[in-house]
Amino acid sequence: MATTPRLSLPFLSVAQAQKEFAHNESLQTLDVLVAGSVEEGPRATPPTSPVIGSCYLVAEAATGAWAGSSQCVAAWTSGGWRFVSPIDGMSLYDRASGTFALFRNGAWEIGIVRATSVAIGGQQVLGQRAAAVESPVGGTVTDAEARSTINAILDALRQHGLVES
């Protein structure tokens, strides 16, 4: 049976018997992925009492009904578990953490935001990291209190990854 290239949704074919099965399978997959969300981050075992419509990320070394479906999105339906294999760029909202899960380079990244810059109100507030900022040294007049404060600020910025060490 022919399918779509990205999500493997089945195409209907001329004179196909029981076209509703292929159509319903496509709708189930779209229901999982369009404005998709999962209940929590990756887990290796299926929940004992899932609610119809709930979705989960299947962790490595999955067991039980999820065995062999690592990295997939598992959706509980009236017909049991349905698994959707992720593709690079697939993004789902993680309800438990309030962050997004992004499938990238063969693995789920949860809570990581990737951007070249961040703008708030049209004003860039974060951008590419610049060269390291050196701690103050030397000088003919030294203000130890100011130097200590500047070093504390630089340490905090380094710790948050905003300036290079």
Domain annotation covers residue 164: no
For the stretch 39-82, pLDDT in tens is 999 999 999 999 999 999 999 999 999 999 999 999 998 889 99
pLDDT band at 27 (very low <50, low <70, confident <90, very high): confident
- 68-73: list long-range contacts, CB under 8 Å, 24+ apart: 71/103, 71/106, 71/107, 71/108, 73/32, 73/33, 73/36, 73/38
pLDDT given for residue 48 in this prediction: 94
Q: Are residues 106 and 134 in the same domain?
A: no
**Domain count across the chain:** 2
- Max intra-chain CA distance, the chain: 90
Domain shared by 152 and 76, yes or no: no
Domain that holds residue 87: 19-110
Work out the pLDDT band at 1, boundaries 50, 70, 90.
low
Q: Give tens-digit pLDDT for 112-141.
A: 988 898 888 998 888 887 788 888 888 888
